[in-house]
């Protein structure tokens, strides 16, 4: 069976230079239905709801065969901007039960100041528009037991927690949950919803911390707000700094490592990494060569984009593997694992790889 599938894929690739006949047929199908896409699932936007100055929620109706999701999972959303397709990752911010009852899902999205996609979604996507989404995925999901939970959210990192808490309010309203929500805004997200959820969940506690007034997360602050954190299973979501610091504090305070789960929303900064000389990066298939600057390390994805090569990318932080690319030779540094690669041929993720010397890529 497997051998037949491989043979079919090989034949398709040989005849069409596409991984599937659906992809090959896409341009023809788009003559009739311009938004139709071969991969992923088609979906229609029902509403683009403003949540705050920088944040909005897309209420979406996926096509019927879109598989259901588990609270805490995310998906890739694909849009075309000026003829170029972009893929970006967002958590589902609603409960699975909401989707089962209404057929709708919600994504709650912060506009990134320099972002290509999030400002476009905020300003150009409206009710009735067609978009393309992937199946849900991700392991940031709740344990199948009734242990007390500690959720630590930073900014828009609160989205999977809204999904968790909405779902628990319907399926396990007695669950002991403490959400500590760090944000810079004077108006935290879903401010009107938390009190309603607390009314239905007697053991739900929500602590809002305005970082402009109270500062960033620290040990004393966590202890002051949550006296019994060592008995809780902790879930962390938000930017890299919040996750690293809260992990360190929780470990120090006696929370077991396997009771700490996290989801990263922001890229890990390139730090503690220097090379002696500028390096040469050859994008072999595009016959393009660029030079890196030793004082200004950039990921290979950023270099390829600056050279206008249009590489495929999604999350830009090592999660989705959309940016996978064949390295023909040279050593790269992985900012996520903090490891150097071998010199030989292998697949790498462009978004978390920095040239550690001269590198040749099959791009
Ligand atoms: C698993 C997962 C789930 C996510 N869920 C959500 C969600 O529910 N809601 C949401 O708003 N975002 C979420 N994100 C983050 C979201 O994917 C990015 O913010 C988004 O892709 C930015 O796209 P853009 O095209 O506007 O910005 P880009 O053009 O990709 O980036 C522009 C600039 O902003 C920086 N940047 C981009 N995203 C972030 C970020 N999150 N934090 C700090 N700097 C950033 C980039 O480094 C770059 O300098 C999630 C990310 C992951 C990996
Ligand atoms: S863009 Fe998602 S792993 Fe690189």
Residue 1 pLDDT = 41
Ligand nearest to the backbone CA of 318: 2
Ligand 2 lined by 92 (C-beta under 6 Å): no
Ligand 2 lined by 89 (C-beta under 6 Å): no
Residue 84 pLDDT = 82
Q: Please state whether beta strands 204-210 and 177-183 pair in parallel, antiparallel, or not at all (unpaired).
A: parallel
Ligand 1 lined by 88 (C-beta under 6 Å): yes
Ligand 2 lined by 318 (C-beta under 6 Å): yes
Cα Dmax for the chain: 65
Q: Which domains does the chain carry?
A: 1-39 (no CATH), 40-138 (2.40.30.10), 149-264 (3.40.50.80), 280-361 (3.10.20.30)
Ligand 2 lined by 313 (C-beta under 6 Å): yes
User: Which of 320, 335, 347, 348 is the best mutation target for the ligand 2 pocket, counting ligand atoms within 8 Å of the beta carbon and taking the most?
Assistant: 320
Angle of CA points 56, 62, 68, to nearest 5°: 100
Which CA distances in Å does 163 have to 92, 140, 150, 156, 352?
A: 7, 11, 15, 13, 28
CA separation for the pair 312, 304 (Å, rounded): 10
Which residue, 134, 150, 138, is CA-closest to 72? Answer: 138
Q: Report the nearest atom of ligand 1 relative to the CA of 93.
A: 8
Q: Rounded to the nearest whole angstrom, what is the distance from the C-alpha of residue 352 to the centroid of ligand 2?
A: 8
Which residue's CA lies nearest to atom 44 of ligand 1? 266
Ligand 1 lined by 316 (C-beta under 6 Å): yes
Residue 317 pLDDT = 87
Residue 265 pLDDT = 87
- Classify 110 as helix, strand or coil: strand
Residue 30 pLDDT = 55
Q: What are the helix (H) ranges across 159-287?
A: 159-171, 193-200, 211-214, 219-225, 240-252
Q: Report the nearest atom of ligand 2 relative to the CA of 318.
A: 3
Residue 2 pLDDT = 42
Residue spans of the chain under pLDDT 50? 1-6, 19
Long-range CB contacts (within 8 A, 24+) of 317-320: 317/264, 317/266, 317/267, 317/268, 317/351, 317/352, 318/268, 318/349, 318/351, 318/352, 319/89, 319/264, 320/76, 320/87, 320/89
Ligand 1 lined by 109 (C-beta under 6 Å): yes
User: Do residues 219 and 230 lie in contact, with contact meaning Cβ atoms separated by under 8 Å?
Assistant: no
User: Which of 305, 316, 348, 353 is the best mutation target for the ligand 2 pocket, counting ligand atoms within 8 Å of the beta carbon and taking the most?
Assistant: 316
Ligand 1 lined by 117 (C-beta under 6 Å): yes
User: Which residue's structure tokens are 């660029």?
Assistant: 290
Positive or negative CA dihedral for 257, 260, 261, 265?
negative
Residue 285 pLDDT = 94
What integer best gives the mean pLDDT of the chain? 88
Helix (H) or strand (E) holding 6: helix 2-16
Q: Report the nearest atom of ligand 1 relative to the CA of 239.
A: 42
Residue 3 pLDDT = 45
Ligand 2 lined by 348 (C-beta under 6 Å): no
Q: Which two tokens stand for residue 267?
A: 């890229």
Ligand 1 lined by 106 (C-beta under 6 Å): no
Residue 25 pLDDT = 53
Provide CB contacts within 8 A for 97, sequence distance 6+: 166, 167, 170, 171
Ligand nearest to the backbone CA of 316: 2
Residue 212 pLDDT = 85
Residue 62 pLDDT = 98
């Amino acid at each position: 069976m497997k051998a037949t599938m491989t043979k079919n894929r090989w034949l398709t690739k040989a005849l069409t230079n596409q991984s599937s006949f659906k992809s090959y047929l896409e341009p023809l199908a788009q003559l009739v239905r311009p938004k139709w896409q071969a991969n992923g699932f088609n979906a229609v936007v029902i509403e683009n709801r403003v949540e705050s100055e920088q944040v909005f929620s897309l209420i979406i109706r996926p096509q019927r065969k879109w598989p259901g999701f588990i609270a805490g999972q995310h998906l890739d959303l694909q849009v075309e901007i000026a003829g170029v397709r972009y893929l970006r990752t967002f958590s589902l911010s609603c409960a699975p039960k909401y989707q089962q009852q209404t057929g709708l899902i919600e994504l709650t999205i912060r506009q990134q100041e320099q972002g290509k996609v999030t400002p476009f979604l905020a300003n150009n996507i409206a009710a009735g528009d067609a978009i393309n989404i992937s199946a849900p995925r991700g392991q940031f999901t709740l344990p199948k037991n009734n242990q007390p939970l500690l959720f630590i959210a930073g900014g828009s990192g609160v989205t999977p927690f809204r999904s968790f808490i909405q779902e628990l309010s319907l399926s396990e309203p007695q669950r002991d949950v403490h959400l500590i929500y760090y944000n810079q805004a004077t108006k935290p997200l879903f401010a009107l919803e938390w009190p309603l959820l607390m009314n239905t969940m007697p053991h739900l506690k929500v602590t809002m911390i305005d970082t402009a007034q109270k500062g960033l997360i620290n040990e004393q602050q966590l202890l002051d707000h949550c006296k019994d954190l060592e008995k809780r299973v902790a879930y962390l979501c938000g930017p890299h700094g919040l996750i690293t610091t809260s992990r360190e504090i929780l470990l120090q305070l006696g929370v077991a490592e396997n009771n700490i789960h996290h989801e990263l929303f922001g890229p890990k900064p390139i730090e503690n990494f220097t090379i002696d000389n500028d390096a040469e990066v050859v994008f072999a298939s595009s016959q393009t060569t660029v030079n890196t600057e030793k004082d200004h390390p950039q990921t290979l994805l950023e270099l390829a984009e600056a050279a206008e090569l249009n590489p495929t990318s999604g999350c830009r932080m090592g999660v989705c593997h959309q940016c996978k690319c064949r390295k023909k030779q040279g050593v790269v540094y992985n900012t996520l694992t903090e490891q150097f690669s071998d010199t030989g041929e292998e697949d790498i993720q462009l978004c978390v790889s920095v040239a550690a010397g001269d590198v040749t890529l099959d791009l």
